[in-house]
Chains A and B, each alone.
Chain A
């Protein structure tokens, strides 16, 4: 594995290996000295064409915990504004001898172009491109689900997959790179995925996607799924007439307190996931966000571990352990 661009291209074995490595990395984060020398002397560039403080900080923390040097390169402005070209930026980074480039871009495909162009020979990690893919988000979601399963069964998570788990992803699938990356990764790991959204927010031709699609959230929740993942709703979608009003959206597809109560009454095992930042009161109620079922903060913590794992595996490029030998 030279780059991490999408989850479609991850094999079952690679995905489990990343998650197993991430579990080891998570152990580092719980120590008082949260640092490994694994990537000492290596340079990781965070190349962000789109603002995302959370994702950038997560990658930065991950790289620093592995002792890498981190350069934050914020190429502000929208992708369509004619600033410095992607090509020139890439070649500039190359001249600075970057070992890995973490790229976030509003244009779908920009990370793949960077990887395929020949402008650069660093490892490229997709930190979210347009509406296309966000592989590290899906990996941290998978890690969270694996830990949920591990906690429920008392079996250690190492080597575990998501066989038989039912995950419901709710909301703006059409514009969501998080949904796309999760559909591929979670099903690779054996989970059953159901997408629930208003029909205006689902792509028109998705027959090839390995998941079910429904429009009725209550019907799907009645199956007592293992997890329900709420997607962030961009408020500008309402102006584009994807749905009539925020209130109507929330009634149909929000994780409201009533829906939380119904799951409680059923004794469902369902956990509540959200990639953040949350629109409380829109796609998710405060009752849901603050409920013991919520995994939102674990997802953030797991994000650092997963990104450490990805950086380590791409840059060390071998089967070695992240830990220095003890002798």
Chain B
């Protein structure tokens, strides 16, 4: 029997309490110093820390199989644990693409073997992300990986008929399609947000309308076939308006925003440093403010990191040759605190919702995103919101060094992460993985 006492934490920012974890489950919660603590209990002093349900990331790139030089399931999930996540969804754009039961089972098994957090593979909507033929969605759903979310992320399912069929097909098992909204013709050769900065820099623009047009089409399709749609990494003010409109009409759509789109703008591209190259691109301050408000008002449902590690050689090159993407697992909660909590837009309860409860609900995870109450699986992150830390990617657990926050100072820090009752992170650093 293992037991841990989290002493003097503030559950979701509320009154300080003690939480007793026994054999992977929350055994008891009570006012500080009132719980019966068994002999040999490991006590974790959480004074000042906020206790949140373990974070769930709907949008991670773990790069394995195929790009193990950029990240592996082991390093990516260690980074996730270090960032406070107890479950991640691994996008399908590996090599080979996760478009068969074999590949998704491999990723799922690698996740279990690593033991840092739950790994749920995302299945590709189309074979090889090619956008022309549906992949064997049902086989992936019925595999040991139990895939529920399907996405061609990195590419848009732009054929409207194929998108319609995919939305229809996943209804048979309660699945969901996650769309990377990018009209391909409008974004040929696109390098950055189309606007005043792209005009100055002479970089080919990625116009907001290329995202908004696909979202508008897809919410209408979703309503037409009565299915469920998730919008990945929404990045523009106009997209927020369309999602709000769709929700008012009762469309079963959920929307995600990345931490970087809540903080960074296309002004950073003036440095031509490819660490700021990402897809969808960094937008304007107007968009950033609209996205923050959309999280506060509930139009945006979840934070997804779009953690996208790359090797140095894929980033240390000319802007137009550089790979898209930035790391994010280990900085996500800090950026959320900085942009949403410290600005007074939301409280810790809403943080628990957008980073844990809602993603768990969308994906039907029963042992993630639970209330911190007796009987719940002990997936918990202890977050200390005090202090400011400079971001140094060389200290990150991820193999990726492409953090756009390098050199910036961000608030707070993970003190500990409990994954199924086991402290995978202690004193801010990875401890030991869960063995089963």
Contact = CB atoms under 8 A, between A and B. Distances in A.
Interface in B157-203: 191, 194-196, 198-203
Interface in B178-235: 191, 194-196, 198-205, 207
Contact of B316 (A87, A106, A129, A133): A87
B199 A132 contact: no
B196 A86 contact: no
A113 B202 contact: no
B321 A205 contact: no
A130 B320 contact: yes
B195 A108 contact: no
B196 A113 contact: no
A109 B195 contact: no
A203 B200 CA distance: 9
Given A108-B272, A112-B272, A205-B195, A180 B202 contact: yes
A208 interface: yes
Given A204-B194, A205-B194, A205-B195, A113 B319 contact: yes
Given A107-B321, A112-B272, A203 B313 contact: no
A80 B321 contact: yes
Contacts of A61: none
A205 B320 CA distance: 21
Nearest to B194: A204
A204 B199 contact: yes
Contact of A204 (B207, B313, B320): B207
B317 A132 contact: no
Given A108-B272, A113-B318, A203-B198, A85 B313 contact: yes
B202 A107 contact: no
Contact of A109 (B199, B207, B272): B272
A109 B196 contact: no
B189 to A, nearest CB: 10
B321 A79 contact: yes
A206 B199 contact: yes
A105 interface: yes
**Overall SS of chain A's interface:** loop
B194 A109 contact: no
Of B199, B202, B204, chain A has the most CB atoms within 10 Å of the CB of B202
Contact of B199 (A105, A106, A177, A209): A209
Contacts of B320: 79-80, 106-108, 130
Interface string B302-324: 00000000000100111111000
A298 interface: no
Contact of A87 (B195, B200, B204, B317): B317
Given A130-B203, A203-B198, A204-B194, A116 B271 contact: yes
A110 interface: yes
B318 A79 contact: yes
A35 interface: no
A207 interface: yes
B317 to A, nearest CB: 6
Top 9 closest pairs, chain A to chain B, by CB:
A131-B202, A109-B272, A203-B199, A132-B202, A107-B318, A107-B320, A205-B196, A205-B195, A206-B199
Given A108-B201, A205-B198, 20 more contacts: A79-B321, A80-B321, A85-B316, A85-B317, A107-B318, A108-B203, A108-B319, A110-B318, A110-B319, A113-B319, A130-B202, A130-B203, A131-B202, A131-B203, A131-B204, A132-B202, A175-B202, A205-B194, A206-B199, A207-B196
Interface of B: 191, 194-196, 198-205, 207, 271-273, 313, 316-321
